[in-house]
Structure 1
Amino acid sequence: MSYREVDTVDVGDLGRRRLLGVGIGALALAHPGWTDLVARADAMRTGRVARVGRGEVRVVEDVTVALSRLDDRYGGRAVRPVAAAFLKGPATVALRADSTEPVRGALTTAVAFCAYLTGWMAMDEGQDALARRHFDQALELARSVDDQRSYRHILRGMSVHAVDLGEGRTAVDLAEASTARPPQAGMVAFMAGQQAHAHAVAGDRAEAWRCLRRAERAMDRALSGAKTFGGYNPSTLQYHVAQVRHALGDTTGSVASLRAHFRLRDASDSDRSALRFGSMLAERQLQTGHLEAACASWGAVLDGLPSMQSGRVDQHVARIPGLLRPYLASPVARQLNERVRQRTRGEGP
């Protein structure tokens, strides 16, 4: 299947208006040159650019970076229509234009990451089949220019998706494929942390801990500057420790590691991940008998919900009433439960 045949959804007029109006207008939040990006993206979309060069590569790269930042802040449901419109419009049109071979390679890599990001947003929405189609599209593009670094990065993301779906064996296979060739030194921790999580979900305790130790040893060399696609840092490592512990039955240890994760987070970390991981923390605190701590963690999640449009976060929030039902004799639990009910009825934050 070629990238032109992938069904990325028909964004229609709404998607195009978002792309060239409100959507990329919102990139002002994430990119100082957004006005120029709009003009150049429009020229690419309409085919006024007959031959592309490094300038068009930078447009795709910069738009992808800005969309990623918006995705982290507002969630996949809010941003994916804009990303899909850009991918289907300007990015694909640019790939069909004339260029030199070096430009063609750089542009293909840039579009591959845009497709990967769009798949990540679809995953966040809970549109798993669509996410997989975008990931396959991204893989094909990276393979077509023999971009091994991008190819491995995309495989790792697919492993994360498989883990979320509880497909432990598939997650392991994808994580192992992502390290079929030795990764660059800075990517070792990034890859090994996901391998550890996948092996833990698959039930392989020894291999999970072996990979986690490798991630810890490589931490000092881990990439921390890749802001778009999840630069690995100590807070991310603690998240993986938490997930390994939880998958292997150590819920108390998982809570301790998630708390360490939150202590190590900084301002560059995703708002969405703060809500998702905060929900995980609350659920596990409740499992270990700490009702008030769980309600406090859930309260922080509810505080951050008004600006977030994430299907995965919504799934966590939807579980709260059922989880709290046995504890409604507690005033703290009743208060939190009412907050969730108000939000469901649209009566409050």
Structure 2
Amino acid sequence: MPRKPVRPLILEALSRRLGRPVTASDAGFAASAEPDSESGDTVAGLIELGSADMNPGRRTVLKGGLYSAALAVPGWPDAVERLARPARDPHSRIGMADVETVVAMTEHISDLDDRFGGRMARPMAAAFLVNTIAPFLRADAPDDVRRAMLSAAADHCYLTGYMAMDERVDGLAQRYYTKALELAAAAGDHLAYCTTLRGMSVQAVDLGHGPLAVRLADAASAASPQAGPRMRAFLAGQQAHAAARTGDRSGALAKIKEAEAAMEKAESRAKAFGSYDPSSLHYHVSQVRYELGDVAGSITSMEASSRLREPVYRRTHVRYHAMLAERKLRLGRLDEACADWHRVLDDYPHVRSGRCDDRVRAMLALLRPHLRDGHAREVYERGRPLLREKTA
């Protein structure tokens, strides 16, 4: 029998090799493959997960959690069944004002995340999840209030998972996303459910798991059959990116056209949490073009996306300008790439993001062969101490 810490690694290796989930029972392991077992109560699982995330001593352990490319994502009916009825607190009762509090706090944390990165805002989100949302989910409430609270909790859990993904704690992010699916299904909230599946597809494509990204993006689209035009663009854009990552040229082009057509029917700009705007569409067009080999076209689309993105979204600007620089360097446009990397370093000190750290590491690696060039050396010497300071 393998040692307990090794079992999740073995199950993931078997799952990836076989192309299907392999459970601890399938493999003949006597114990659960999870490093810390959760009960069937989703609320108890949220408390356990969030409490560990709040604890500085446990966060190092959580960072070692394994991302599963063979995760069995629950379908809508399965997710509904997985939310066991939590123990109720007869001395506590909530109303719609409490739901509004959760929504407002989630929007506030989302704004902090956009400005400063997931590493800065996630501990606050985890604490709010444990100390406020979990007790609300156990409280007595009318059915409409309870469904609204489950929906608000799903949005908050999704955001917390997104911030973990931004910090590159991908196994933890996947666990938060799975909890968000369960909460959204229990609320009957198709929007939160398919948004979470789409977020899981974004994570998969970032990690290079193209087929999984396609499955998740397609599942997100299937879960929202009556979506409005903005939501259809939101989902189709990710389907296009995932398809392009797998080399499916015709599928990617068809989906990006679908996204563009839906976007024309939607409002030109939106401020709502999780909204999809023209900047996001240009980003997906850029990613599709890049994956299909049109590097120059991808640069044009990424520049259009960056121009439309408001300056307050510092993390996004770091990532977009870094991708622009990497692609321009690939085409031999070193001076232009250096100009974009200077823009990256203008915003980089203000964000705490694992994905941004990755882009600066890539910048340093790409610049090393060009250090005889004065512009390249200037960017390199500016970036190296900043990265060291952030990751020390």
The TM-score normalised by the length of structure 2 is 0.76
Aligned with residue 158 of structure 1, among 200, 203, 208: 200
Q: CA deviation at 1:145?
A: 2.2
Q: Decide which of 291, 302, 307 is 1:258's aligned counterpart.
A: 302
Post-superposition CA distance 1:183-228 (Å, at most 9, x none): 2233111111111001001110000000000111111233643532
Q: For 2:193 and 2:389, how far apart are their aligned partners in 1? A: 43
Counterpart in 1 of 2:211?
A: 169
Q: Report 1:183-332 matches (<5 A).
A: 183-222=227-266, 224-229=269-274, 231-267=275-311, 270-332=313-375
The 5-angstrom pairing of residues 130-169 of structure 1 reads 130-169=172-211
Give the % identical residues: 45
Equivalent position of 1:27 in the other structure: none
Q: How many Å separate the matches in 2 of 1:182 and 1:128?
A: 31
Residues 190, 222 of structure 1: 8 Å contact kept: no
Inter-partner Cα distance in structure 1 for 2:320 and 2:91: 43
Letter of the structure 2 residue corresponding to residue 295 of structure 1: C
Corresponding position of 1:41: none
Which residue, out of 150, 153, 159, partners 1:111?
A: 153
Q: Distance in 2 between matches of 1:13 and 1:137?
A: 19
Question: Could you tell me how far 1:91 is from its partner in structure 2?
Answer: 0.5
Distance across 2 between alignment mates of 1:204 and 1:14: 43
Distance (whole Å) between structure 1 residues aligned to residue 251 and residue 379 of structure 2: 40
Say which SS state the counterpart of residue 225 (structure 1) adopts.
Answer: coil
Distance 1:299 1:52 in 2: 50
Give, in whole Å, the separation in 2 of the partners of 1:228 and 1:48: 33
**Unpaired runs of at least 5, structure 1:** 16-46
1:48/1:319 CA distance change after superposition, 3 Å: farther
C-alpha separation in 1, matches of 2:265 and 2:146: 31
Write the distance in 2 (CA, Å) between the matches of 1:331 and 1:12: 45
In 2: Cα distance, 1:182 partner to 1:216 partner: 18
1:138-160 CA-to-partner distances (Å, cap 9, x unmatched) read 00001112211211111111111
Give the C-alpha shift of residue 324 in structure 1. Answer: 0.7
1:92 aligns with 2:134: yes
SS in 2 for 1:179: helix
Amino acid at match of 2:321: G
| 1:321/1:14 CA distance change after superposition, 3 Å | closer
Change in CA separation of 1:189 and 1:12 when aligned onto 2, cut-off 3 Å: closer
> Which residue does the alignment assign to 2:92?
50
Separation in structure 1 between the aligned mates of residue 137 and residue 204 of structure 2, nearest angstrom: 30
Q: How many matched pairs? A: 314
The residue that corresponds to 1:333 in the other structure is: 376
TM-score normalised per structure 1 = 0.86
Structure 1 runs (4+) greater than 4 angstroms displaced? 11-15
Give secondary structure in 2 for the equivalent of 1:112: helix
User: Are the equivalent residues in 1 in contact too, given 2:90–2:139 (CA < 8 A)?
Assistant: no
Question: Structure 2 counterpart of 1:279, which letter?
Answer: A
SS of 2:50's equivalent?
coil
CA shift, 1:265, in A, is 2.3
Q: Kindly report the root-mean-square deviation, in angstroms, between the aligned alpha carbons of the 2 structures.
A: 2.0
8 Å Cα contact 1:75-1:310 kept in structure 2: yes
Deviation at 1:264, TM superposition (A): 2.3
